Structure 1
């Protein structure tokens, strides 16, 4: 027995699947447009009661329908929105990591340049000190010679002091006699 009238319309609305979107929009939609889409799909999927036929006392049973599945397009949009947010977060974190590495490399480069400048200054100062030491070397040699001469003179003075004490002792011995 073929369905007629309202029963046929109810079966047609159940068997028809929504058309896939022609354009995929990954941006978030305003809330009111989602509500409108949801309300349209739920209205189309409500089972309609068959009209009373005058078949004489025969009761008609309502067709058993499966619970309405959520709108696939809405779920896809929601998934793509969430994936978009996730990927943007991941890319932002990666970009921030690269910026941090870039700043660290720049600071390290500046530190190495400072260290290079310091080492160049130390090298120059060391060369200046070596030149000054070389120019002072003859004077240092003279100081060493004078020190040797003073040491020799000091030894001669000790010998002279010892000899004078011996002489004094002899002279006193001679005077006593």
Structure 2
């Protein structure tokens, strides 16, 4: 079924519509060197028109991008750069913080190591002093045992003397 009239005209206009550009070339201020973007576009088109055989091919003329879009793109890229710079700065600051925390932790462990070394030395000194006092402590234990046995003997003597006194009083009463 063939299209006729208005439908055919609509199809023709669709098939003749320009294709969208495959690349978006946005020159910066330095790339332009103060020249118009229209002259750059024209030079690019002239270079593309010449083929190997010297035959010129027709290429669709594209309009230069509007300055508003260029400014918006630059603004977007600048803001994206600022955002990424902020993210990288935050990451660097995090790493610096971790580095400082690691250094402080290392210092704390070194202090704890020094403290434990001092405690170990003091403990060794105390063990040596205890070892040097051990004979005296053994003598004290022997004296304590002797005192205990003397105390028991004194109790026995006291009990015996009380019994003897009771017998003596009993004999006196008679």
| TM-score (ref. length: structure 1) | 0.61
Structure 1 residue 152, shift from structure 2 partner:
0.2
Instruction: Report the secondary structure of 1:20's partner residue.
Output: coil
Structure scoring higher RCO (CA < 8 A, sep ≥ 6) equals 1
Structure 1 residue 22, shift from structure 2 partner:
7.4
Instruction: Report the secondary structure of 2:106's partner residue.
Output: helix
List runs of 5+ in structure 2 lacking aligned partners: 1-24, 38-63
2:131 to 122, 129, 134: 134
CA-atom RMSD in angstroms: 2.6
The CA deviation string for residues 23-71 of structure 1, in whole angstroms up to 9 with x for no partner, is: 46xxxxxxxxxxxxxxx99xxxxxxxxxxxxxxxxxxxxxxxxxx9642
Q: Hey, what's the Cα distance between the residues in 2 that align with 1:82 and 1:174?
A: 126
List runs of 5+ in structure 1 lacking aligned partners: 1-17, 25-39, 42-67
Which residue is equivalent to 1:163?
Answer: 160
Q: Hey, what's the Cα distance between the residues in 2 that align with 1:86 and 1:148?
A: 86
| TM-score (ref. length: structure 2) | 0.62
Structure 1 residue 145, shift from structure 2 partner:
0.4
Pairing 1:57-96 to 2, within 5 Å after superposition: 70-71=66-67, 72-96=69-93
Q: Hey, what's the Cα distance between the residues in 2 that align with 1:117 and 1:128?
A: 17
Structure 1 residue 106, shift from structure 2 partner:
0.8
Which residue is equivalent to 2:144?
Answer: 147
Which residue is equivalent to 1:125?
Answer: 122
Structure 1 residue 73, shift from structure 2 partner:
2.8
